[in-house]
Amino acid sequence: MDDYATDDMRAPTLEMCSGSLERLIDFCVTRWRLGKEEFEAFRPFATGTVLAAIEDRADAGNRQVWETMVQLCANVVGSPAAPWVRAQFERAWRDRSLFIWAEAAAKCLPAAEGLHKTIDALKTVQGRDLEKQMSALSWFGAPAVLDWIEARLPRQDVTASWGQLASVSDLNWSRVQSWLASGRPLSLVAIDALVSFIPRQGQARILTNLDPKLKGCGDRSMIVHALRTYEAQDGAPRVATKCSFIIQHVNELRTE
């Protein structure tokens, strides 16, 4: 990269690299996070040319490079990358990069294909490992994930990650009501999902990126009433703390 470094050895900027596809890819590989600005810098280049460069770089690179190339396919190339993304599943599974691959699957493959492939991959995963890897389902925004949660949710030790996943999976108020009425463990998922709909500092990055909204709840007073009713039956500190937070910030809770 010396040929486009400045005399005072400052790190290359996006603007400096944007005139060359290879340099732009180099730049992306060095970034801790990629965003809209980096993705839009690829617009001047033909999609087929970008895809070919991504494939070449992924084949020659290590895991970090490969993950960056998959992310570029998801956010720059889209559906033309479907055959390549499909072929990367085995590597994603082997390298425990299902979350990275799933974003590309959601954005490059036919709607149901990536979701079903990801759900199938999780069939043999259990316990804490499942809690980590199931975040891959977040990219699909599919109600089918809510059905999956109902089927795979453990009876005990339900962490907030289940509610976060539910919140980005097209969750509607009627399902929240049903989960609250059913009691634990689904009621805990419902409460954690409602917390996820409230923007706050330190929120998981995927919630910031996907900006999920609770569907089908035109009157927030229903949320308050339902939580107070539930809290009267389950006064555990975890429940009381989270219900209080939701009620206090109910007007900030994102709905549509």
Query: What own/partner pairs with CB < 8 Å and gap ≥ 24 does 247-252 have?
Result: 247/223, 249/198, 249/200, 250/220, 250/223, 250/224, 251/220, 252/198, 252/199
Q: Distance between CA atoms of 222 and 173, rounded to whole angstroms? A: 9
Q: How far is residue 63's CA from residue 102's CA, in Å, rounded to a whole number? A: 16
What local confidence, expressed as pLDDT, does residue 8 receive?
54
**Predicted local distance difference test score (pLDDT) of residue 9:** 62
Smallest CA-to-CA distance from 130 within 103, 164, 161 is with 161
What is the rounded average pLDDT of the residues 122-136?
Answer: 97
Q: What is the pLDDT of residues 16-62, one digit of tens each?
A: 999 999 999 999 999 999 999 999 999 999 999 999 999 999 998 79
pTM of the model: 0.94
Q: Say how many C-beta atoms besides its own lie within 10 A of residue 137's C-beta.
A: 25
What pLDDT digit, counting tens, does each position of 155-181 carry?
A: 999 999 999 999 999 999 999 999 999
pLDDT at 111: 87
Scanning 134-220, the segments in alpha helix (DSSP H) are: 143-152, 160-167, 173-182, 186-196, 205-210
Q: Which residues, 6+ apart, have CB-to-CB distance to 247 below 8 Å?
A: 223, 224, 227, 228
Nearest CA-CA partner of 23 in 8, 10, 41:
41
Q: How confident is the model at residue 6 (pLDDT cuts 50, 70, 90)?
A: very low
Predicted confidence at residue 10, as pLDDT, reads 75
* DSSP assignment string, 127-141: HHHHHHHGGGGGGG-
140 burial type by CB count under 10 A (0-12 exposed, 13-18 middle, 19+ buried): buried
* Contact (Cβ atoms closer than 8 angstroms) between residue 74 and residue 108: yes
Q: In terms of Cα–Cα distance, which of 160, 153, 89 is closest to 127?
A: 153
Using a 10 angstrom Cβ sphere, with 0-12 exposed, 13-18 middle and 19 or more buried, the burial of residue 232 is exposed
**Per-residue pLDDT for 4 more than 70?**
no
Q: Is the pLDDT of residue 5 over 70?
A: no
Alpha-carbon distance of 163 to 196, in angstroms, equals: 7
Query: What pLDDT score was predicted for residue 227?
Result: 99
Average pLDDT over residues 111-121: 97
Average pLDDT of span 206-230: 97
